[in-house]
Structure 1
């Protein structure tokens, strides 16, 4: 029978699973639950302070609706000997009978015990605040209707609702923490009186008993009965493109509006075009059916001229702007290195859509006056170098990859980015699709990346440089043990000093390699000038050619030939990952073994069973990942050796202190080896020294 699973065991297993998840995700994230004390400061005015003990005070606000318990820490690091129940009893002894927050007191005692030297205030009791009633109010007034707003006089029909009053409501009493009642504040109850031609109902509504003008003065509402013919008024918009009518309905025995009346009013204002007869009849029907006025009713519209549209460019990729733009890093600091002064595009990128101008058409006003249209304006921007116009000049595409600019209204794509000076803060980091030529130096801290070649007329300092093809440096590389230079093809330089260099093919140095880490898939060559390799690590897949390796003083210099450094890096990463996963699997297996999990059923609650099932699934996942990594490691091992004839040539010699490694064989030079060639016997897996084959 398996051992009983305790809460401590469950917690231990959860911690193991968290560690495994962190390793599987390759980025450990720790979730910390923080307890935040949201303290509300009591009002210091008119408050009452009562002692509860030598370390606790009770603070009561003036309204007696809220109290705070304040803890005063002792001078010495000593935890007060008081329990939550004792403190609650002392609070009750003060007379608190309502709203006592026992959980707050319990939490406060727990916090004090964990940190007795910290001051603490906690809400101890909360009373009930009284709620105000609502005063009487007007819920409806005819003067707020859209047809009545901004009118000097308000007209109403017979039986129209004029006014509705909602009566006042009483408030709700509150209660202090000592159980005392707190009366609600008084509310205003305003009354209104029905005057002439007004009748009311029990719901507090006031109605008109005849048609007329509504008046509300001194809380008395009345209607003055009148007789008036319907009135039609025509209004024209400022541009004479719209004619509108206002109609006041007939009052009492007055004459009603007709279609002829509206057309006659339009004629007086010379409205003769774009008249909407249906809109006129709808306006009359609206007035007659509802006996309400209408305003701004559109009955005629002119035809606006159709001005031609200006030519426009829709940028699928906007060209670079002349202003600099810096980036803000995750920590909030401004990165002045990323000035982003250039925009790059790839070949066949859709840059822009050009829409040519269109021709306009004439229109007219409601008074029949003709308005001429205008043709749209063209644009001066045109397709420039390496930009192709397609689909009758409407679609613009890049014909090559490179720098994307708009200069003198010409849209260009330049396959070369040229820096006439140093890469500094005036230029910023460079990330370019194409070749980059730098006349000066690449200064400390800057990044230069290009899909093509990178050519530097000066030096590369402690910078990050990466090329999709060659990196060529005229004056040399000063890495300062911080910079890194990478090329998918060759790195060519006059010298390397304290540099970190990687090449997908060859590293060619015309003078000297000093205290540097140099790695090349094929060849590293230092044949001219001093032709020396001194210190550091020099790592080549096929061969290393130099005049002198090491110094007569025994400078430690490591030479490694015959393996692909990129494959070796991948194998090292996989091996490290396997070790970390194996450690996690061992911890999980030892836990299972200690509890006999998986042998017999055991007594555990549902959360524990779910946790164990998750752990067993994670165990299988770890085993599967370790197996996959082992297979990948074996596959890479077959690609590790790049040639069957790795060799080292030193035309002047190899000095003591040089450590040589070819594949898995090692040789440490103890005495000078002059004019030597060092090869490797694949069958015997042995390094062979051939002094006679060295050339001067």
Structure 2
């Protein structure tokens, strides 16, 4: 038995020595006093796995009848008897009193047989004495007396009992010794005992045979072992996002870039927040009597599902229901589609890249960026930063871009624009100073100063302002009548066409040179030159296909650029230095024009002021 269990066993079934002394003091003197010629009995060995049997128990009486010293103990042969099945050490501890009661019943049967034998012997002795008395009275001739000698032992059969543990997971065989000419047990006798005890599972046949051949008495011999249930596995969660999101240092430089990293965990719709592993039930066991033993219950994982999340139909994933940002609060993951920044976008927040709408109550500081798939509302101003909205963009205090700010959105409303670049569908502002604006719709600069001074305004439709240019003649470009992306694509195609034609010309010259050199060498084959000529011809063919596609595309773009525009310019004051382009017509304003409306005249194919 393990050392850690010995103290518990001694505490539960202790006092063995005191009970030994008490029992010995109550025995008759002839049973306790050793014979004069007999050697003193050896002290009983201490069995670490044994459990003391009380002195008044029937098993203790059988023990003393068999002339064993001391008191008996129920000793399961864990280590010394390898034939039996392996039974846990604490099984007997839990079932001691139950097993002891069963052992007492068997022992009482043994005692009853002994008492019956003693009574039969006493009756025979009485009958013999009666006959002797009758012979003494002269009724019959006396028989010669038998020579005196020790009485033969009583004939008591070997006894056994199958003892079942309280939990039904183990069974032992307890054997009591025979006496005289008593019969010994056979395997079929033990099988009958097993059937009577309803032990039908986990029986070790070698253990049964070894128990009968070894003849080990007064000990618990393990002969059957139930099948333990196999525990299952509780469900668990495998999270893909951090509960407490923190910025991490670069693995190479070990430096945290607080500008590049955001403190917001952006998440897309249908993104997997965590995997949910379902519980795996255990396998039931079986007792020695064949009854099932349920496996320990398993628990389902506690899913941290909050607002904006849902468990997948198969129950294996926690999903985001919308585009937004993820936060862990109150023990659950929550997804929100509106991100509120209560202060400035600076080192405390890092760059913002969010799926949804963003509301910034402060400023966007220099060298930071804000990107959102929805609308962006900025209560402060934007410095030399990048702001990009998939929806509308509102900047209450304007943009001071220092030549570096880039603003993108569908419908952009801003108080003022200074030294920045803007891409939008429609733009509304109070004034624009030295900025580049590209709109696929209209540009409206009214309210306040309502001025456009310097820079370039490109709009596919209309431009409306109080004044354009300045009295100092500052160059201001206004281009209307075509979408900015058409102009950019037309310019890019033109550049690519030039590069293609140049490359094709150089390849053709190289191939011609190689062919002429091979001819000058008498037409002798030159593998390297031949391979280079083949590659040049293949590349020229590829470039010709690309040139054909670009030429067709360029023709369509040119048609869009030269189509009759319906754009118009409206302003109260148009100052000298303004370069106005509507469609394919252009004009440089040389003198101030007041209260003008400029359109494209299809007859003269020029700009007309009304």
TM-score (norm: length of structure 2): 0.59
1:558 aligns with 2:558: no
Are residue 638 (structure 1) and residue 579 (structure 2) matched? no
Question: Alignment length, in residue pairs?
Answer: 413
The correspondence for 1:548, drawn from 464, 467, 471, is: 467
Alignment pair present for 1:619 and 2:540: yes
CA contact 1:406–1:412 (8 Å) conserved in 2: yes
> Given the alignment, which residue of 486, 508, 521 partners 1:567?
486
Task: Show the counterpart of 1:685.
Answer: 605
Distance, in Å, in 2 between the alignment partners of 1:623 and 1:641 is 27
Q: Report the equivalent of 1:192.
A: none
Which residue number corresponds to residue 332 of structure 2? 410
- 3-state SS in 1 of match to 2:532: helix
Residue 485 of structure 1 pairs with residue 404 of structure 2: no
Q: Report deviation, 1:678.
A: 1.2
Match of 2:235 among 297, 302, 311: 311
Q: Secondary structure at the match of 1:578?
A: helix
Structure 2: distance between partners of 1:540 and 1:641: 15
Contact preservation (8 Å) 1:382, 1:410: yes
The answer on 1:654 being equivalent to 2:568 is no
SS in structure 1 of the partner of residue 496 of structure 2: helix
Q: Following TM superposition, by how much is the alpha carbon of 1:237 offset from its aligned partner in structure 2, in angstroms?
A: 9.1
Structure 1 gaps of 5+ residues are 1-230, 242-265, 281-298, 691-696
| Aligned equivalent of 2:263, options 341, 345, 352 | 341
| Counterpart Cα distance in 2 of 1:301 and 1:639 | 91
* C-alpha distance in structure 2 between counterparts of 1:278 and 1:662, whole Å: 106
Greater relative contact order: 1 or 2 (C-alpha under 8 angstroms, separation 6 or more)? 1
1:368-415 superposed Cα distances (whole Å, 9 cap, x missing partner): 999875433455544322223453866544332222333212232211
**Shift in alpha-carbon separation, 1:305–1:597, aligned structure 2, 3 A:** farther
**Contact 2:85/2:225 (<8 A) preserved:** no
Aligned to 2:377: 455
- Structure 2 distance, partners of 1:627, 1:269, is 102
Question: How far did 1:236 drift?
Answer: 5.2
CA positional deviation for 1:665: 1.4
SS in 2 for 1:482: strand
Residue 244 (structure 2) pairs with residue 325 (structure 1): no
Structure-2 change in CA distance of 1:371 and 1:621 (3 Å): same
- Please state how far the C-alpha of 1:625 moved relative to its aligned partner: 1.6
Q: What is the TM-score normalised by the length of structure 1?
A: 0.52
Cα distance change of structure 1 residues 549 and 385 upon mapping to structure 2, 3 Å threshold: same
Tell me if structure 2 keeps the 8 A contact 1:319–1:404: no
Specify whether residues 304 and 634 from structure 1 end up closer, same or farther in structure 2 by C-alpha distance, changes over 3 A only: farther
How much has 1:614 moved relative to structure 2? 1.3
Change (3 A) 1:599 1:334: farther
2:592 corresponds to which residue? 672
Residue in 2 aligned with 1:467?
A: 389
Q: Are 1:402 and 1:433, in contact at CA under 8 Å, matched by a contact in 2?
A: yes
RMSD: 4.0
Q: Does structure 1 retain, via aligned residues, the 8 Å contact 2:276–2:303?
A: no
304 and 269 in structure 1: CA distance in 2 versus 1, 3 angstrom threshold: farther
Mark the CA change 1:585 to 1:357 in structure 2 (over 3 Å): closer, same or farther: closer
Measured in 2, the distance between the counterparts of 1:269 and 1:642 equals 111
In the alignment, the residues of structure 2 paired with residue 269 and residue 479 of structure 1 have an alpha-carbon distance, to the nearest angstrom, of 97
- Alpha-carbon contact 1:309-1:376 (below 8 Å) kept: yes
Is 2:247–2:258's contact at 8 Å kept on the other side of the alignment? no
Q: Distance in 2 between matches of 1:483 and 1:269?
A: 94
* Secondary structure in structure 2 of the residue aligned to 1:625: helix
Does the Cα contact within 8 Å between 2:575 and 2:591 map onto a contact in 1?
Answer: yes
- CA deviations on 1:133-188 (whole Å, 9 max, x unpaired) are xxxxxxxxxxxxxxxxxxxxxxxxxxxxxxxxxxxxxxxxxxxxxxxxxxxxxxxx
Aligned residues of 1:312 and 1:354 also touching (Cα < 8 A): yes
Are residues 301 and 589 of structure 1, via their aligned partners in 2, closer, same or farther at CA, if it must alter by over 3 Å?
farther
Partner of 2:352: 430
Q: 2-side partners of 1:565 and 1:546: how far apart?
A: 20
Summarize the Cα distance change of 1:361–1:666 in structure 2 as closer, same or farther, 3 Å threshold.
Answer: same
SS at match of 1:536: strand
Is the radius of gyration larger for structure 1 or structure 2? 2
Task: Identify if the C-alpha distance between structure 1 residues 602 and 644 changes in structure 2 by more than 3 Å, giving closer, same or farther.
Answer: same
SS of 2:591's partner is coil
